[in-house]
Structure 1
Amino acid sequence: MKVNEMMSRDVCVVGPDESLKNAATLMAENDIGSLPVGEGDRLVGFLTDRDIVVRALARGVGPDAKVREVMSADVKYCYDDEDVEHVANNMADLEVRRLPVVDRDKRLVGVVSLGNFAQSGDRSAAQDLLRGVAAPH
């Protein structure tokens, strides 16, 4: 099975110059914990609810700060035509629960998450990923 067969395609994206408040509102409205950060048609970062808490609020950065100030700019991603076993092992090694999915032109086409793996029917890939993200640090 390929990633594009199980990924979420309906992805909310936030701009790097939007405020953290806007990003948090978008997360709340869509009941999600992360947002790809896009500029034009390119993926330039990734923002999680943990980034907002740990990199912003805990350091005294206010809600009007820009997303680019706290996002992860070193974005890990996978390609939409990659095999799910390979992506699950990669995510487990990276200890991440979600990963942006790009096409071969590196344009964002979706997000794949632990939940997608759990619902995919590929028990082996789901177990490999869960083992990697649930391991004590």
Structure 2
Amino acid sequence: MTRYVEFLEPTATVQDAAALMGELDVGGLPIGDASSLEGVITDRDILYRVVARGLSTTTDVRSVMSQPVVTCRDDDALQMVIDAMAAHHIRRMAVLSTEGNVAGWITLADISRRLLVESHRLQETLRDLTEAEAVEA
């Protein structure tokens, strides 16, 4: 999960969104602020809702953002987050604190990295157990 989240104002332009996404090397940005999440603008929103329709890059992100925002809680189980992403066909999610404010942002890439690390740890543990059993035998 990324704890530092860069937000865009709803009145920001699609050009502003694309520039900030490029600068941050991200595929989506939340619209609003930590206490009032209004929507999300993604690279796909820009492609399909702006470029494909011939809209201007000065279009407000509010008019092309995805909403409602699918969120999870910071204490949700990882499998619950994965299931929600799959059910809603999304690649990123706002993570809310117990107070309901945006505490971070989680992406499929974050989840993949975490699962890869956990898989390596499991493999090491199994190898250690197997080696210990071989020594005892």
Shorter chain as denominator, the TM-score bin is 0.7 to 0.9
Structure 2 unaligned segments of length 5 or more: list them: 120-137
The offset of 1:122, in angstroms, is 4.3
Question: Which of 56, 60, 63 is the matching residue for 1:69?
Answer: 63
Q: Which residue of structure 2 lines up, in the alignment, with residue 16 of structure 1?
A: 10
Structure 2 SS opposite 1:59 = coil
Q: Which residue of structure 1 lines up, in the alignment, with residue 19 of structure 2?
A: 25
Question: Which of 103, 118, 121 is the matching residue for 1:109?
Answer: 103
- What RMSD, in angstroms, separates the aligned Cα atoms of the two structures? 1.5
Q: Which structure has more RCO (C-alpha within 8 Å, separation ≥ 6)?
A: 1
Q: Which has the larger radius of gyration?
A: 2
Separation of aligned partners in 1, 2:81 and 2:94:
11
The offset of 1:57, in angstroms, is 1.6
Moved over 4 A (4+): none
How many matched pairs?
117
Separation of aligned partners in 1, 2:105 and 2:34:
18
Separation of aligned partners in 2, 1:60 and 1:22:
17
Structure 1 unaligned segments of length 5 or more: list them: 1-6, 124-137
Q: Which residue of structure 1 lines up, in the alignment, with residue 28 of structure 2?
A: 34
Contact 1:16 1:39 in 2 (8 A): no
Contact 1:42 1:106 in 2 (8 A): no
Q: Is residue 2:40 matched to residue 1:60?
A: no
- One-letter code aligned to 2:10: P
Separation of aligned partners in 2, 1:33 and 1:117:
15
1:87-106 matched pairs, under 5 angstroms: 87-106=81-100
The offset of 1:73, in angstroms, is 2.1
Separation of aligned partners in 1, 2:66 and 2:53:
16
- How many percent of aligned residue pairs carry the same amino acid? 36
Using the size of structure 1 for normalisation, the TM-score is 0.79
Q: Which residue of structure 1 lines up, in the alignment, with residue 126 of structure 2?
A: none
Contact 2:39 2:67 in 1 (8 A): yes
Using the size of structure 2 for normalisation, the TM-score is 0.79
